[in-house]
Chain A
Amino acid sequence: MANKIIQWIDRRFPLTSFVKHELTGYPTPRNLSYWWNFGFLAGIVLTLQVVTGIFLAMHYKPDASVAFDSIQHIMRDVNYGWLLRFMHSTGASAFFLVIYIHMARTLYYGSYRAPRELMWWTGQGLLLLLMATAFMGYLLPWGQMSFWGATVITNLFRATPFIGDQVVVWLRGDYAVGDDTLTRFFALHYLFPFLIIAGVVVHLVALHTVRSSNPSGIDLADKDNIPFHPYFTSKDFFGLGVFLIAYFTVVFFFPHSMIEAENNIPANPMVTPNHIVPEWYFLPFYAILRSVPNMVGGVAAMFLSVMIFAFMPFLDRSRIPGGARYRPVYRVLFFIFMLDILVLGYVGYYPPTSQTIAIGQVATFYYFGSFLLLPFISKAEDQWLFKKGLPPNIIALIESEAIEKRILPQRRRRGDIT
């Protein structure tokens, strides 16, 4: 019976071949480490956010006079409303954490290089959408930090050339952040996740065209690829279990750590909080914004600091496979860059003092410097490594894979493999 139904569908829709091609038979490098779990996890967190978000939207009221009250209604009166809300507020941080690890893995292993540039760029677009979604969602509780955070960030668009003031009014729907801002942010906060889903589909189609990268940095021949299912489904689900333990530990035991104390005070345009801070995931970029003394320059630097990742395929001139694994200089650069981001995050969290400004400026300088010098450093490192000779194991791997690729068409013709 089941077979008949599947046959019926297959005559009209490529169900079986799709599942075989993209899941049960999808060839995946067998040497993927746990760092390759985070793309799957990002998909899961996206789903969690969409599902909890839809249920929250059933009880939330996007109206400046009752938005804060409706959150309290969700927290107190809606059945398990507190769970939905804490899952959603913790999920936002989990999403960024997972995405940042996903990006760091790509940077470390050089997965952005040819032929995966489009994966990297669609990922960059998804990051921007995620940031916009998170920023707009943060306004919805209508607390003090929501209000003032939105005020500060929308105000940055004043730096737009010629039409700055109009852009700010256009974004806010009013001269100041108010009810109109709240309603439009709510509408867009509901829309953007679906744009993200569409972006994820593009990201996955690109992935299934170029296939996963792997820690060796070489596209492995068929003998080193194994079907996605059951090998990587089982691995991904184990990773998911570990992730959920961490996530639900925060949701159930430390949920308030994800909500600024100041945001439990209703928005009040007459009272500015002493200390306006964005959420942790924006802190490094916020620090860069504040490190440039001039506002327009600061805004430009902040946007560039996010967008500059897109240039990585051009900036990295090395031909050595495997990213940082076989590239000692790049590896050092990578870890200092990670440290630099932590320093920027620290600087972004504290109110500016002459000391933190100085540290922030050095860190900002290093941030951009490491991108701008990368072409020269990677080229020099490449020449140095080739002159010195690559490690024997990687030479052996490159050679065996080359042979594998040469004999592959012959074996295929002989019918050894399908």
Chain B
Amino acid sequence: MNKFIAVLVLHCFISPAWAEEAKLEKIQVDTSVLAVERGVDTFMNACHGCHSLKYVHYRDLAGFGVNKDKISAWRGDSTLDAAMTSLMSDDAAMQSFGKIPPDLSMMTKAREGGNSYLYSYLIGYYLTPEGMTSNHVFPETKMPDALGMSGATDPAQRSEVQAKAHDIVSFLSWAADPHEAERLTLGYYVIGYLIILTLLLYNVMLAVWSKIK
């Protein structure tokens, strides 16, 4: 029995082999409108050519408070009600990459590690000794190094790419959970209300029970 417990305790400290993946860089997402706005900008230039965002509509951006003129510039001929589908057809994508680039609406929620995963992935590109680009986080990726991390050599350039990756994550994090800010605000009110209510109920209970002590 003791041996069994010992094995068990030891086991808790050994992280299983399958979890040994590239270390993710933990990030704090900037959820401000400005960061999201910069993020959409970068996203439209670097990602939207191939990746769709089918659950997000241009009107959602307007609703969040993104600059209206910018939205009109991005959406071009599409209506404000249109989903932010990609510019590339599925056939063209199959030709270029051998697969259809995944929709990014839920990307920050669809991977273990979420925002940190996405950020680490975007800045995870590097040049192999053979001169090929590869990725620390997702070596099998078919996506080219859209932000140019692997080619960025001097620190200023690298931090510029990192800043862009940060903004993209801010935007996609909002895209995956557009009601997050509302949810958190409402949450504080609900929990505050419940704490007061529960304290009152506690006193009611004490008052009721005092009769029979």
B194 touches A238 (CB 8 A): no
A362 touches B184 (CB 8 A): no
A353 touches B183 (CB 8 A): no
A-B contact pairs, 16 of them (CB 8 A): A72-B106, A76-B60, A82-B179, A83-B183, A235-B209, A237-B201, A238-B204, A238-B205, A241-B202, A248-B187, A248-B194, A261-B114, A264-B106, A264-B109, A264-B176, A274-B18
Any B CB within 8 A of the CB of A253: yes
Residue A245 contacts which of B55, B179, B195 (CB distance < 8 angstroms)? B195
Any A CB within 8 A of the CB of B73: no
Interface residues of B, CB < 8 Å — how many? 37
Any A CB within 8 A of the CB of B93: no
Any B CB within 8 A of the CB of A262: yes
Q: How far is the CB of B31 from chain A (nearest CB, A)?
A: 14
Q: How far is the CB of B109 from chain A (nearest CB, A)?
A: 5
Any A CB within 8 A of the CB of B87: no
Main secondary structure of the interface of A (DSSP, over half): helix
Any A CB within 8 A of the CB of B186: yes
Of A177-185, A226-234, A312-320, which binds chain B? A226-234
- Residues of chain B whose beta carbon lies under 8 Å from any beta carbon of chain A: 4, 7-8, 11, 16-18, 55, 60, 105-106, 109-112, 114, 176-179, 183-184, 186-187, 190-191, 194-195, 197-198, 201-202, 204-205, 208-209, 212
Known A237-B201, A238-B201, A351-B16: A252·B184 in contact at CB below 8 Å:
yes
- The size class of the interface chain A forms with chain B is 35 or more
Number of A-B contacts (CB under 8 A): 97
Contacts of B60 in A (CB 8 A): 76
B16 touches A241 (CB 8 A): no
Contacts of A343 in B (CB 8 A): 8
Q: How far is the CB of A267 from chain B (nearest CB, A)?
A: 13
Contacts of B18 in A (CB 8 A): 274-275, 350-351
> Which residues A218-265 have CB closer than 8 A to chain B?
226, 230-231, 234-235, 237-238, 240-242, 244-245, 248-249, 251-253, 255-256, 259, 261-262, 264-265
What is the 8 Å Cβ interface bit string for chain A, positions 1-42, against chain B (1 contact, 0 not)?
Answer: 000000000000000000000000000001000000000000
B178 touches A76 (CB 8 A): yes
A245 touches B111 (CB 8 A): no
Complex Cα spacing A355 to B9, Å: 13
A234-B201, A244-B198, A353-B17 are known; give 9 further A-B pairs, CB within 8 A.
A76-B179, A82-B179, A241-B202, A248-B190, A252-B191, A256-B177, A262-B110, A264-B176, A355-B11
A241 touches B194 (CB 8 A): yes
Contacts of A76 in B (CB 8 A): 55, 60, 178-179
Any B CB within 8 A of the CB of A359: yes
Contacts of A240 in B (CB 8 A): 201
Known A241-B194, A248-B191: A72·B55 in contact at CB below 8 Å:
yes
Complex Cα spacing A75 to B18, Å: 33
Residue A234 contacts which of B111, B190, B204 (CB distance < 8 angstroms)? B204
B16 touches A353 (CB 8 A): yes
A245 touches B106 (CB 8 A): no
B194 touches A245 (CB 8 A): yes
B109 touches A256 (CB 8 A): yes
Complex Cα spacing A238 to B197, Å: 9
Complex Cα spacing A274 to B204, Å: 52
Complex Cα spacing A245 to B204, Å: 18
Chain B residue at minimal CB-CB distance from A247: B194
Contacts of A234 in B (CB 8 A): 201, 204-205, 208-209
B55 touches A238 (CB 8 A): no
Contacts of B55 in A (CB 8 A): 69, 72, 76
Complex Cα spacing A252 to B188, Å: 8
Chain A residue at minimal CB-CB distance from B196: A241
Chain B residue at minimal CB-CB distance from A73: B55
B105 touches A72 (CB 8 A): yes
B198 touches A245 (CB 8 A): yes
The 7 closest A-B CB pairs, nearest first, are: A252-B187, A241-B198, A264-B110, A234-B205, A238-B201, A264-B106, A234-B208
Q: How far is the CB of A208 from chain B (nearest CB, A)?
A: 22
Complex Cα spacing A244 to B191, Å: 9
Known A261-B110, A351-B16: A241·B187 in contact at CB below 8 Å:
no
B109 touches A231 (CB 8 A): no
Q: How far is the CB of B209 from chain A (nearest CB, A)?
A: 6
Complex Cα spacing A231 to B204, Å: 10
B112 touches A261 (CB 8 A): yes
Contacts of B190 in A (CB 8 A): 248, 252
Contacts of B176 in A (CB 8 A): 264
Complex Cα spacing A248 to B187, Å: 8
Residue A265 contacts which of B110, B179, B202 (CB distance < 8 angstroms)? B110
Contacts of B8 in A (CB 8 A): 343, 359
Contacts of A75 in B (CB 8 A): 179
Complex Cα spacing A262 to B17, Å: 20
Complex Cα spacing A76 to B208, Å: 45
B111 touches A261 (CB 8 A): yes
Q: How far is the CB of A276 from chain B (nearest CB, A)?
A: 13
Q: How far is the CB of A30 from chain B (nearest CB, A)?
A: 7
Q: How far is the CB of A80 from chain B (nearest CB, A)?
A: 9
